[in-house]
Amino acid sequence: MKLFGQLAWFFKAHWRTYSLALLMLATVAVMNMSIPYLIGQAVDELVAADSGEADGRLLGLILLLGIAVYVLRFGWRWILFGTSYRLGNLLRRRFFELLTRQGQAFYSRYNTGDLMARATNDIDAIEVAAGEGVLSGFDGLLTLLLVLIILFGVIDWRLALVALLPFPLMGLAFYRISNRIHHHFRAALEQFSVLNDKAQEAIAGVRLVKSMGREEIESRQFGAIAKSAAERNYRVARAEALYEPVVFLSMSAALLLTLGFGAWLIWHQQLSIGQLTSFTLYLSQLIWPMFAFGWLLNIVERGSAALSRVDALLAVPDSVPDQGRAVPADAHIRVNELSFSYPDTREPALHRLSLALAPGEVLGLAGPTGSGKSTLLQLLMRYWETEPGRITLGGVPLEQCRLAELRRQFAYVPQDAFLFSAGIADNIALSRPQASREEVMDAARQACVHDDILALPQGYDTPVGERGMTLSGGQRQRLAIARALLSQAPVLVLDDALSAVDVHTEQQILRQLRARRGQSCIIVSHRLSALEHAHQILVLHHGRRQQAGRHDELITRDGWYSRMWTYQQLEAVLDDA
């Protein structure tokens, strides 16, 4: 029952609703206890051949009790289960807030499918424990105590002792079954995470799977994982199935002992037929507490296994702590002797890198693949933690800035632009939902995607489909650029965000960007024509600063930049020919 102790904070917060529901449960239990006694009284009156007047009153009272029990049962279910749903909602909100706070280090450790499994299956199990677990535990225990009091104190204590002889064996069986369920259910949850992750990966990469003809291979792999998940769930179901036979065997043995010893007591005139009838009815009511305890152990073990997984995740500290309180005065960026290595890697991604970017200037980042360009961008926006004081924004070290204020300084456009399953206008206005349609259209014009949008069936109200799959790669990139331009952030960051557009469209977009005054811009591009008008260009190689200067300077020096520029110019001439 450690689970209830771990959820004590929730029970304390909602003690009024739980108290009301449990009070109604207790009232129902007391009413249920009175019905067998009244039936026994009616049987004795019939045996004694008394007038039917008392029998009519008893039957009327039994009917009224039945109606009251029905109403109260509805009430406590509505209150108790409604409160447990609040717990599920609260845990999911905490879970989502955790995900939004975490940086890239967190997502490099946890797979998407595993996170989805914990947010759904695991929290569902905890929710059931907070609702049905409380119900079965309290109601089962109260019913058991009331039945035992009546059996021992009201009817016959000798008969009660004999009837309860099989119960210790049933308790031992419950203990062993619950341990087995805990072990198997935790394994089932972990395998469900693997299954969820594989399904998410297959759906996200379905185009690649089809293009490479891997349907059969992926199906076999998924089938093997699904089979393993089914086997683990089967073990859970097999363990759960042991509860019912144990209850029925124990109750059957108790009933057999009751009838045998009860008949002996009646023969010796130490017990009436009505008392034996009442005793048998009360004994049958012990079936619910036994099932309740079995069900309680079942869902508590499920909830405990699930809560340990959810708590383990909620206890993960923020990979990027948000403890700063400063607000940057401007968008002046300075990097001083910055070095950075990714977790579990020996080779540094960046090594003693320094740069400065004044507000309104354009910084170009160039270099071969894997040189550290995207890493630098992520560090500037503090997606990863760095050595304190190495990066400042507006003269304030990044770790001293509030994360929300820091992120608002940047409008980031990655190479793989993400679009939500919504209309085009809604996707562009994501950072400024209050923006007017004219402002949205103006941002689209600057990103050179306005005409493409008008050509779509519903224009700006056209749904783009999941992840924008109904659009081309160039259209997705330009929509992401329009979204960034609409945000009006002081620093625009383009991480190879023009790779999917042609040279003519690229130059149009760049002209629009140059016309925007006061906004700094950081452009990462393998197409060096995008960097021609940058105020400074930084060439990286293996995380080190190899060259720096303006475009006109770099093409005159021997180095990676001039060689790549010459190659791209020759390539453009051959394409035109």
Average pLDDT value for residue range 84-92: 86
The pTM assigned to this predicted structure is: 0.69
Can you give the residue ranges of every domain in the chain? 82-314, 333-576
The CATH class, in words, for 333-576 is: alpha beta
Torsions phi, psi of 541, nearest 5? -150, 115
pLDDT of residue 376: 92
pLDDT at 127 over 80: yes
pLDDT at 361 over 50: yes
pLDDT of residue 540: 92
Distance of CA 442 to the CA centre of its chain: 37
As a dihedral over the C-alpha atoms of residue 24, residue 30, residue 32, residue 37, rounded to 10 degrees, the angle is -170
Pick the CATH number of 82-314 from 1.20.1560.10, 3.40.50.2300, 1.10.287.110, 1.10.3210.50: 1.20.1560.10
Taking the CA of residue 91 as centre, how many other CA atoms within 13 Å lie in the half-sphere pointing to its CB?
29
d(CA 531, CA 426): 31
d(CA 533, CA 513): 11
pLDDT of residue 52: 46
With H, G, I as helix, E, B as strand and everything else as coil, classify residue 493. Answer: strand
pLDDT of residue 364: 92
**Mean pLDDT (the chain, rounded):** 81
